Amino acid sequence: MEGCNLKLLFVVNVDWFFISHRLCIAEQAVKEGWDVYVACEDTGRSQEIESKGITFINLPFSRSGTNPINEIKTLLNFYKIYNKIRPDMVHHITLKPVIYGSVVSKLLGIHGTVNAISGLGYNFTSDRQSIVQKCMIRLMKYGFNQENLGIIFQNKDDHKEIDKLGILSSFNNVFFIKGSGVNLEIFEHSLFPKAEVIKILLPIRMLWDKGVKEFRAVTDFLKKDYKGKVLFVLSGLADTENKAGVTESYLREWEEDGYVEWIGYQKDMVKIYQDSHIVVLPSYREGMPKSLIEACAIGRPIVTTDAIGCRECVDEGKNGFKVPVKSINELARAIEKLILDKKLREKMGVQSRLKAEKEFSQVMVISKHLEIYNKLNEC
């Protein structure tokens, strides 16, 4: 592949998500001789992408918008970019780029297409049967029905659901990669903080379907016995563009000095994980949550739900606990077990790190992606 000058185009929603989840893959592709392009919304971090030898294209679009006129304009913008670049390989990340990008790549006859299915999103939670969902399924059936299209799933459940909906084509190449991986050298195994107050971390974008309401109920439930002994730390932005977004006012009203703290978006998550004792994600559904993969690498016990995506990050009773989706009592009791047992926290933390080394290495994830590009390019 070296020196081939084939064109690889990544299409994703926003720059910060690309930097967090796929930049390492793009960097390796540049090293292996690809001319790499990234099309997404510029929120102020495009220069970080360009500094890696990547061509950045600003492609603003509403991640959750459904206005027909706006969506047609978005589809046309996709078409113009693809038609101008004429990539040899296009890698779609997040659901709207997967849907629109697949349609456009089929129309233009792009040689190779990779669709990363990292969860099915808001319109597929809670068994929603909306017109929007039906339109999404129809477009996916059309776009996926093309030769030389590969689909990367992060878990078996999403694959089963996509297959059940009749979206997959006999042409499709199916691959399984557990998330975007974690840099085990940057997110190195670290000792627990020595502070007497136990810090319980919720590292998420603040969305209702991440279990924010349930987590708040847990903080209320445990307050009487543990205020002054624990600190609940909410780390993540209030994603106002998302239909499931939690308002900033809700988060501010929830804060309580010395007990609940919302620290917003944090660029350096290593320090945030290192400063925690327990990591919690009570999500309704995920692809493969990066927050839990990173928590494993740092060596922290995890409490999460037995939801799609989440369950793959925890070996029950070994590196953490899994509770039913939308549970409150079970979630509170699982967190309480870890609050009360220092040795259990330490034992589970060691197992988390071992799991990360075995299953979530970024080196392995990068290698698998380049293998997929090469395989589809050879077809």
CATH number at residue 324: 3.40.50.2000
- Pairing type for strands 7-14 and 149-153 reads unpaired
**198 vs 20, which has greater pLDDT?**
198
Model confidence over 295-314: pLDDT tens digits? 999 999 999 999 999 999 99
Residues 35 and 176 in one domain: yes
Residues 54 and 44 in one domain: yes
Query: Is 3 exposed, middle or buried (CB count within 10 Å of its CB: 0-12, 13-18, 19+)?
Result: exposed
Q: Can you tell me the distance from the alpha carbon of 269 to that of 369, in angstroms, rounded to the nearest whole number?
A: 24
Residues 171 and 317 in one domain: no
The number of beta carbons lying within 10 Å of the beta carbon of residue 377 is 17
Residues 202 and 112 in one domain: no
Residues 209 and 95 in one domain: no
Residue 193 lies inside a defined structural domain of this protein: no
Residues 163 and 232 in one domain: no
pTM confidence score: 0.84
Please state the rounded mean pLDDT for residues 260-280.
96
Task: Provide the domain limits for residue 272.
Answer: 198-359
Residues 270 and 287 in one domain: yes
> What pLDDT score does 2 carry?
47
Residue 61 tokens, joined: 């679009």
Please state the rounded mean pLDDT for residues 23-39.
97
Residue 15 lies inside a defined structural domain of this protein: yes
Residues 351 and 257 in one domain: yes
Please state the rounded mean pLDDT for residues 122-144.
75
**11 vs 20, which has greater pLDDT?**
11
Please state the rounded mean pLDDT for residues 173-198.
94
Give 3's pLDDT tier (boundaries 50, 70, 90). Answer: very low
What's the mean per-residue pLDDT of the chain?
93
pLDDT at 238 over 70: yes
pLDDT at 225 over 90: yes
Residues 222 and 280 in one domain: yes
Residue 59 lies inside a defined structural domain of this protein: yes
Please state the rounded mean pLDDT for residues 85-91.
97
Whole-number percent of the chain with pLDDT over 90: 80
Residues 150 and 75 in one domain: yes
Give 5's pLDDT tier (boundaries 50, 70, 90). Answer: confident
Residue 191 lies inside a defined structural domain of this protein: no
> What pLDDT score does 371 carry?
96
The number of folded domains in the chain is: 2
**121 vs 270, which has greater pLDDT?**
270
Q: Residue 250 phi/psi, 5° resolution?
A: -65, -45
End-to-end CA distance of the chain: 15
Q: Can you tell me the distance from the alpha carbon of 195 to that of 1, in angstroms, rounded to the nearest whole number?
A: 51
Counting other chains too, the contacts that 169-173 makes at CB distance below 8 Å and 24 or more residues apart are 169/144, 169/145, 171/145, 171/146, 171/147, 172/144, 173/149, 173/372, 173/375, 173/376
pLDDT at 270 over 50: yes
Residue 2 lies inside a defined structural domain of this protein: no
Of residues 162, 244, 160, 214, the one with CA closest to residue 324: 214
Of residues 189, 188, 192, 215, the one with CA closest to residue 278: 192
Give 129's pLDDT tier (boundaries 50, 70, 90). Answer: low
Give 134's pLDDT tier (boundaries 50, 70, 90). Answer: confident
Give 124's pLDDT tier (boundaries 50, 70, 90). Answer: low
What is the chain's alpha carbon radius of gyration, rounded to the nearest angstrom? 21
Please state the rounded mean pLDDT for residues 105-128.
78
Of residues 115, 92, 179, the one with CA closest to residue 364: 179
Burial 181-199, CB ≥16 within 10 A → b, else e: bbebeebebbebeeeeebb
Residue 37 tokens, joined: 């392009």
Q: Can you tell me the distance from the alpha carbon of 21 to that of 240, in angstroms, rounded to the nearest whole number?
A: 21
Model confidence over 328-367: pLDDT tens digits? 999 999 999 999 999 999 999 999 999 999 999 999 999 9
Residues 80 and 165 in one domain: yes
Please state the rounded mean pLDDT for residues 89-104.
95
82 DSSP 8-state letter:
H
